[in-house]
């Protein structure tokens, strides 16, 4: 069976971009019985950038409640917390020892930080960079290879990391025999990358997000804050590069999008557009929001789902790690 796998970091509150880019497409796949699917809270990843236990816990609740409220089929898909699978860090170490340092030197996420340091003329180009950030593509490779995932749905920024996972797997297979499936990135150009309040990519770590399940009043307030240009009511507006339009398009039908385009050409006022977007999103999200609020008030139900997923994930990871340990030479002596 084809296997897909997706994780979301427990680094903050899930936002519209996470939903459109990762969760919604995954929910559809979670219901397909011809596909094996794995969804996880990437909490080992989240401690790379944040060391606040209360925040990690809160985010884990929010990310899990979001998956469950938006309709993840946890009887068909395997839904788990990464830190419940101790085989993943063990595999990470084995892979670390098969990974050339030069490969990690080329990782975008690491290079981007070094570049920021150089631009700021920091004495040490590695200032503020932990080994976790440097080697996190290896942790990601372990996430993927552990479950023999073929297709990894990702944004374009993640293609390089999937290629690294492939390289690492190929090197292991070449040396120790064929154990790993070589994964491929699956990018879907029809899936939008949403911009945030400030026009940059909406990201938990940029503090520019519109959380998916805000109470109505707060949702309205944030939508009113989205940056627009200074065109007056009556002046034709461009839909290209307009954050408001982009968000609407990610949720609406083709007919609704065509209608709105006409209103842009006719010079819709930004205030009117914001109110329209708010009403549309509020109506679309409110049924999910009710379930989300119930789950957030019931951590035991969330925990039970994660434990169910852990047990199913470990049915795969425990025997597979055992196979890998043998391949590497960790075998009983007598
Ligand atoms: P962080 O800032 O901690 O990296 P994030 O908001 O970028 O958080 P991730 O956990 O890194 O979220 O990403 C989870 C998934 O959501 C990934 O598949 C990613 O491609 C997708 N995603 C994140 N931001 C957006 C966005 N603005 N538009 C569409 N998809 C997004
Ligand atoms: Mg991210």
From the CA of 202, give the closest atom in ligand 1: 27
226 shares a domain with 282: yes
Query: What is the pLDDT averaged over residues 19-33?
Result: 91
Check whether residue 153 and residue 91 sit in a common domain.
yes
Burial class (CB in 10 A: 0-12, 13-18, 19+), 112: exposed
Print the domain residue range for 217.
213-294
User: Does 147 share its domain with 160?
Assistant: yes
The answer on pLDDT for 157 being more than 90 is: no
Same domain for 141 and 37: yes
């307030």: which residue's tokens?
Answer: 221
Residues 225 and 256 occupy one common structural domain: yes
pLDDT at residue 223 in the model: 97
Is residue 9 within 8 A of residue 204, CB to CB? The reply is yes
pLDDT tier for residue 190 given thresholds of 50, 70 and 90: confident
Which residue, by CA, sits nearest to atom 17 of ligand 1?
22
- Is 32 part of any domain? yes
Averaged pLDDT of the chain:
96
Instruction: Indicate if 168 and 33 belong to the same structural domain.
Output: yes
Residue 234 to residue 6: CA distance in whole angstroms: 44
Atom of ligand 1 nearest to the CA of 6: 18
Cβ–Cβ < 8 Å for 78, 305: no
Does any domain span residue 334? Answer: no
Mean pLDDT of 275-297: 97
- Where residue 28 falls among pLDDT bands split at 50, 70, 90? confident
pLDDT reported for residue 154: 86
Determine if ligand 1 sits within 6 Å of the CB of residue 204: yes
State how far the alpha carbon of 80 is from the alpha carbons of 5, 24, 37, 245, 297, in Å. 11, 17, 11, 35, 20
Question: Alpha-carbon distance 224 to 243, whole Å?
Answer: 12
Q: Are residues 33 and 144 in the same domain?
A: yes
β-pairing, 184-186 vs 2-9, is: unpaired
Q: What is the mean pLDDT of residues 229-245?
A: 95
Q: How far is the CA of 8 from the centre of ligand 1 (A)?
A: 7
Mean pLDDT of 162-176: 98
Q: Are 77 and 162 found together in one domain? A: yes
> Which residues lie closer than 8 Å to 145 by C-beta, 6 or more apart?
91, 95, 165, 168, 169, 180, 181, 183
**Are residues 274 and 288 both part of a single domain?**
yes
Q: Are 208 and 12 in contact (CB under 8 A)?
A: no
Q: Is residue 19 part of a domain?
A: yes
| C-beta separation of 30 from 76 below 8 A | yes
The pLDDT tens digits for 313-325 are 999 999 999 999 9
Number of domains in the chain: 2
pLDDT band at 255 (very low <50, low <70, confident <90, very high): very high
Is 115 inside a domain boundary? no
pLDDT at 76: 96
CATH of the domain at 179: 3.40.50.620
What span, in angstroms and rounded, lies between the C-alpha atoms of 59 and 9? 9
Residue nearest to ligand 1 atom 16, measured at CA: 18
Place of tokens 């999200």: 285
pLDDT at 153 over 90: no
9 is in an annotated binding site: yes
d(CA 45, CA 39): 14
* 19 alpha carbon – ligand 1 mean position (Å): 9
Report the atom number in ligand 1 closest to the C-alpha of 18. Answer: 16
> Which ranges in 177-298 belong to alpha helices (H)?
216-225, 243-251, 254-265, 270-296
The mean pLDDT value for 178-195 works out to 91
The percentage of the chain sitting over the pLDDT mark of 70, rounded to a whole number, equals 100
- Does residue 202 line the site of ligand 1, with CB under 6 A? yes
Q: Any idea which residue has 């503020």 for tokens? A: 128
Please check whether residue 333 lies inside any domain of the structure. Answer: no
In a domain, 275, yes or no: yes
126 annotated as a binding-site residue? no
Q: Is residue 80 part of a domain?
A: yes
pLDDT at position 192: 83
Residues 12 and 55 in one domain: yes
Q: Is 271 annotated as a binding residue?
A: no
Q: Is the pLDDT of residue 275 over 90?
A: yes
pLDDT band at 101 (very low <50, low <70, confident <90, very high): very high
Distance 206 CA to ligand 2 centre (A): 10
Q: Which has the higher per-residue pLDDT, 20 or 188? A: 20
Q: Return the pLDDT at 53.
A: 98
Q: Would you say residue 191 has pLDDT above 90?
A: no
Distance 266 CA to ligand 2 centre (A): 37
Is 155 or 111 the better-scoring residue by pLDDT? 111
As a whole number, mean pLDDT of residues 2-7 equals: 94
What CATH number is given to the structural domain containing 221?
1.10.240.10
Is the residue at 53 inside a domain?
yes
């Amino acid at each position: 069976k084809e296997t897909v796998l997706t994780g979301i970091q427990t680094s903050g509150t899930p936002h519209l971009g996470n939903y459109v880019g990762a969760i919604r497409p995954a929910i559809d796949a979670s219901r397909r019985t011809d596909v094996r699917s794995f969804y996880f809270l990437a909490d080992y990843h989240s401690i790379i950038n944040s060391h606040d236990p209360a925040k990690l816990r809160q985010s884990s609740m929010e990310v899990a409640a979001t998956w469950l409220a938006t309709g993840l089929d946890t009887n068909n898909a395997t839904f788990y917390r990464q830190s419940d699978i101790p085989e993943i860090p063990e595999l990470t170490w084995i892979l670390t020892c098969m990974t050339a340092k030069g490969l990690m030197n080329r990782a975008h996420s690491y290079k981007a930080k070094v570049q920021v340091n150089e631009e700021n003329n920091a004495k040490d180009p590695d200032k503020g960079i932990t080994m976790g950030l440097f080697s996190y593509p290896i942790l990601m490779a372990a996430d993927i290879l552990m479950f023999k995932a073929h297709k990894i749905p990702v944004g374009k920024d993640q293609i390089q990391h999937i290629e690294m996972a492939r390289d690492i797997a190929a090197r292991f297979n070449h040396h120790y025999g064929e154990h790993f499936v070589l994964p491929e990135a699956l990018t879907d150009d029809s899936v939008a990358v949403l911009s945030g309040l400030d026009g940059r990519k909406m990201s938990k770590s940029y503090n520019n997000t519109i959380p998916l399940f805000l109470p109505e009043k707060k949702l309205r307030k944030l939508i009113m804050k989205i940056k627009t240009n200074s065109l007056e009511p009556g002046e034709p507006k461009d839909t290209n590069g307009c954050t408001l339009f982009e968000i609407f398009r990610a949720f609406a039908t083709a007919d609704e999008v065509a209608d709105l385009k006409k209103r842009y050409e006719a010079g819709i006022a930004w205030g009117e557009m914001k109110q329209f977007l708010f009403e549309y999103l509020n109506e679309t999200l409110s049924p999910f929001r009710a379930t989300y609020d119930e789950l957030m008030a019931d951590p035991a139900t969330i925990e039970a789902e994660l434990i169910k997923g852990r047990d199913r994930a470990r049915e795969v990871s425990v025997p597979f790690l055992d196979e890998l340990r043998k391949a590497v030479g960790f075998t009983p002596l007598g």
